[in-house]
């Protein structure tokens, strides 16, 4: 029995990509609530010169507003943060994210993103699963389904989030994909992964006990025609056993030096905050975790700044230094070239509002900004363009399907070939759409 469990411990789930991969793994940074593109990464001088000028909103755009905000005339609002050119590339970025902007030469800004929905729940589902209206597997689940994991002792897909975001655990669900591809939710705190320490002190004794359980589980699985849900449950038990050694070591920051803690702005001994999440992302990436997602806020405290854009300030301060540190740390360790870092939000915010000198901004799915760095992406460039106010896209529109297709392409996966047969048809992350952004690939 012990030998059987040992062989399970040694299993490799790595699967070859469809083509040459530029990235081995993804770190996905999700800013929940809708970050304003015109206050951060999409510089629009006309918003400054035309502050408080009237704007007649098209009916299609008005339909996305709450009924009380559907007056046809709005007023342009200037950005609350100053912009300047950054790095040798000269990318325009604002003072909202100064530490991230300092790494401009590593970053590819995608300024022409758009989504199919301006509601938080649906748009958040879209950026994660490709579908704003139906239950679908998460992008992280598709990636681990296609490539497997480089470390059999840790989950291939892990999500570090202090609280549940919009749409909850559906964001890391495997849905109809095999259950082993579901994300593991890690909650920052003193015990981020509860109950993974050994119940039995003697490892050999525990392995013998679990080996017997494994043999009985396999017999039960065969007797039930290899039921996929049962197989997923058995696989989860086996992963949990292997994690008893790997997880405590991975989440132990005591051996990280003072300089690293200072770089991230993480007090020694702290186990909370976005700085902890970013440092843990680097450690999990080092240990072969394939897809790591960091979510900074939940459904009740986020970037949804309807009333006052000043709310963006402390939220940005919370994540900016750790994100800049993560990019720096990955580069210093030689990991950025094969680690794709993606910064995303579910939609942007309007360049206008209902009254003159309005303090806030509304939801804006017609145009927003995401960015990528490392993992085979050209740094120091901007792809796509919005009009002179940031209202609409005028060059190289990028749907969420296009972003997903590009992420898969950088991992060596063909988004059209990465399919799963379910309910009588072949499904994929990009549905029946999606174009790879070849111009951003190095």
Of 395, 374, 264, residue with least CA distance to 330: 374
- Pairing state of beta strands 291-295 and 25-31? parallel
Confidence check: pLDDT of 2 > 50: no
**30 falls in which pLDDT band (50, 70, 90)?**
very high
Greatest extent of the chain over all pairs of C-alpha atoms, in Å = 76
Confidence check: pLDDT of 10 > 50: no
| CA–CA dist 253, 271 (Å, integer) | 9
| CA–CA dist 53, 154 (Å, integer) | 55
Per-residue model confidence as pLDDT tens digits over 163-175: 999 999 999 999 9
Average pLDDT over residues 154-165: 95
Q: With the C-alpha atoms ordered 296, 299, 303, 309, is the resulting torsion angle positive or negative?
A: negative
Confidence check: pLDDT of 19 > 70: yes
Contacts of 373 (CB under 8 A, 6+ apart): 103, 106, 107, 108, 327, 336, 340, 341, 343, 379
The full DSSP string for 160-207 is E-SS--TTGGGGG--TTS-GGGSPEEE--SS-SSTT-S-SSS-HHHHH
Q: Check: CB of residue 27 under 8 Å from CB of residue 329.
A: no
Kindly state the tokens that stand for 107: 């970053």
Average pLDDT over residues 89-113: 98
Highest mean pLDDT among 11-25, 76-90, 184-198, 216-230: 76-90
| CA–CA dist 76, 358 (Å, integer) | 9
| CA–CA dist 410, 27 (Å, integer) | 13
144-158, 205-219, 244-258: which range is least confident on average?
Answer: 205-219
Per-residue model confidence as pLDDT tens digits over 282-312: 999 999 999 999 999 866 689 999 999 999 9
Residue 191 pLDDT = 85
Could you identify the residue written with the tokens 């991969």?
Answer: 21
Confidence check: pLDDT of 403 > 70: yes
Which domains, ranges and CATH numbers included, belong to the chain? Answer: 21-197+256-440 (3.40.720.10)
Query: Order of strands, edge to edge, in the sheet holding 73-76?
Result: 54-56, 73-76, 352-353
């Amino acid at each position: 029995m012990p030998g059987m469990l040992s062989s399970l411990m040694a299993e490799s789930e790595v699967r070859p990509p469809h083509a040459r991969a530029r990235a081995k793994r993804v770190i996905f940074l999700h800013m929940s609530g809708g970050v304003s593109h015109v206050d951060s990464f999409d510089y629009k001088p006309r918003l400054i010169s035309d502050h408080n000028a009237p704007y007649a909103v098209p009916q299609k755009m008005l339909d996305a507003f709450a009924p009380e905000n559907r007056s046809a005339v709005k007023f342009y609002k200037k950005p609350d943060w100053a912009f300047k050119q950054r790095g040798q590339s000269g990318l325009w970025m604002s003072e909202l994210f100064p530490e991230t902007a300092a790494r401009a030469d590593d970053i590819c800004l995608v300024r022409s993103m758009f989504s199919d929905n301006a509601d938080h729940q649906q748009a958040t589902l879209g950026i994660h699963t490709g579908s704003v209206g139906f239950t679908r597997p998460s992008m992280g689940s598709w990636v681990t389904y296609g490539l497997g994991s480089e470390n059999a002792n840790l989950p291939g897909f892990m999500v570090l989030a202090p609280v549940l975001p919009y749409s909850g655990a559906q964001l890391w669900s495997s849905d109809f994909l095999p259950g082993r591809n579901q994300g593991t939710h890690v909650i920052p705190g003193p015990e981020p992964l509860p109950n993974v320490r050994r119940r039995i002190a003697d490892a050999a004794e525990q392995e013998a006990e679990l080996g017997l359980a494994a043999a009985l589980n396999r017999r039960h699985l065969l007797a039930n025609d290899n039921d996929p849900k049962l197989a997923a449950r058995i696989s989860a038990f086996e992963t949990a056993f292997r994690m008893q050694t790997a997880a405590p070591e991975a989440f132990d920051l005591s051996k990280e030096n003072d300089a690293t803690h200072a770089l991230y702005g993480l007090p020694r001994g702290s186990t909370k905050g976005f700085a902890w999440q970013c440092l843990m992302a680097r450690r999990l990436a080092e240990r072969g975790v394939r897809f790591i997602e960091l979510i900074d806020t939940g459904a009740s405290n986020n970037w949804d700044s309807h009333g006052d854009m000043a709310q963006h300030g402390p939220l940005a301060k919370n994540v900016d230094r750790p994100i800049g540190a993560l990019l720096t740390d990955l580069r210093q360790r030689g990991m950025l070239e094969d680690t794709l870092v993606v910064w995303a939000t579910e939609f942007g915010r309007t360049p206008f509002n209902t009254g003159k000198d309005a303090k806030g901004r509304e939801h804006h799915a017609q145009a927003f900004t995401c960015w990528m760095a490392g993992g085979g992406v050209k740094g120091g460039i901007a792809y796509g363009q919005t009009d002179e106010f940031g209202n609409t896209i005028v060059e190289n529109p990028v749907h969420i399907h296009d972003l997903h297709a590009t992420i898969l392409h950088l991992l060596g996966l063909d988004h059209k070939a990465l399919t799963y047969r379910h309910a009588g048809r072949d499904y994929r992350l990009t549905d029946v759409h999606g174009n790879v952004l070849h111009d951003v690939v190095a």
